[in-house]
Amino acid sequence: MEIETLTISEYFKDNKPCLSFHTDTLENSDKGIEEVHRHDYYKIYLFDNNEYNHNIDFKRYNCVKNSISVLFPHQFHKLENPYNASGTVLMFTEEMFCSEMLRKELRAYCLDMKERLNCITLTEEAYNEIKTLSNMITDLYTDLNIIKKEQIRHLIKLIILKLLDYTKTRELSQKETSETNLFMEFTNMVDEKYREVRLVSEYCELLDVTPKRLNALSKKYNGQTAIQVIHEKIYIEARRLLAFSEHTHKEIAYNLNFDSPSAFSKFIQKKSGYTPTQLQKKLTQIYIRED
């Protein structure tokens, strides 16, 4: 079965002020979506009442009152909303919100961050603290400008940090420590060298590890193969350049070290389903109202 992937831009057909972020009520957020699906952005669900069955990556979570569920990009999920559902949903894209924070500052939590944050039940006091931050974000969103957008960015970061603080960590085994350190070294290296180093075999040589082992670690801790990690980094940077730079497509292609504009175009079409021109137009429409 083909799993539908929803994009955050689908919410913005009514002159919404910021298309890399959106907030909604729980009862409206997944309304009409009855099948398992996934998103290319983050979602934070705050459950004010009732019980909710939240199926994420083939795991079934029972989210009760005062629970919070953080959904990461590309996780399969289905939320079963009870009657009279009440709560808040925060949605934000990786390239505009928390990307570097999640990739670098919280790298040490890589092992089980998704598992820890997919469903958390808090004390009423702790939940109200997160709810207060969520309400601040909603208030800022109703009258948005560039300064308030930055405030929202930091409030989202604060929410995630608090949720990580609320969840108990476990001491990693020696094997897990070794594995996560190696995977962190790989992803840090990709962040620094993705323009020049494009092959998994080249990273394996730099890390002194076999492709089989690197792919196994990548799948275990990120859910993607090593080459998918590399390509995702390139794709994020390509979207940023298309959306915010004044470079031509040819200049972007060579900036990202593609052999030719044609190779760049094929890469973009494979990743997005659009030509660079079409994707640039789409991204421009999405972000133009944020300034």
Count: domains in the chain: 2
**Are 249 and 275 members of one domain?**
yes
Q: Where are the beta strands (DSSP E) in the chain?
A: 4-6, 21-25, 37-39, 42-47, 52-56, 59-63, 67-71, 77-80, 87-92, 120-121
**Are 208 and 132 members of one domain?**
no
**Are 178 and 269 members of one domain?**
yes
**Are 140 and 264 members of one domain?**
no
> How many Cα atoms sit within 13 Å of 253 on the Cβ side?
17
Q: Where are the beta strands (DSSP E) in 42-164?
A: 42-47, 52-56, 59-63, 67-71, 77-80, 87-92, 120-121
pLDDT of residue 12: 59
Residue 231 has pLDDT above 90, yes or no: yes
Q: Which domain holds residue 202?
A: 174-290
**Are 136 and 210 members of one domain?**
no
Last residue within a domain, chosen from 145, 166, 187: 166
Last residue within a domain, chosen from 166, 200, 228: 166
**Are 178 and 198 members of one domain?**
yes
Q: Is 55 helix (H, G, I), strand (E, B) or coil?
A: strand
**What's the CATH code of the domain at 256?**
1.10.10.60
Residue 126 has pLDDT above 90, yes or no: yes
**Are 214 and 283 members of one domain?**
yes
**What's the CATH code of the domain at 60?**
2.60.120.280
Helices and strands per DSSP (H, E), number in the chain = 12, 10
**Are 29 and 150 members of one domain?**
yes
Last residue within a domain, chosen from 101, 135, 166: 166
Residues in the chain: 291
pLDDT of residue 112: 62
Query: Of 99 and 285, which is predicted with more confidence?
Result: 285
Can you tell me the distance from the alpha carbon of 99 to that of 158, in angstroms, rounded to the nearest whole number? 14
- pTM summary value: 0.64
Q: pLDDT tens-digit profile of 187-220?
A: 889 988 999 999 999 999 999 999 999 999 998 8
**Are 181 and 255 members of one domain?**
yes
Least confident window among 18-32, 89-103, 229-243, 267-281? 89-103
**Are 158 and 189 members of one domain?**
no
Q: pLDDT tens-digit profile of 61-118?
A: 999 999 999 998 878 888 887 667 789 999 988 766 555 555 555 555 545 677 789 9
**Are 32 and 52 members of one domain?**
yes
Confidence of residue 1 (pLDDT cuts 50, 70, 90): very low
Residue 14 has pLDDT above 60, yes or no: no
Query: Of 102 and 250, which is predicted with more confidence?
Result: 250
Residue with tokens 């040490």: 108
**Are 157 and 224 members of one domain?**
no
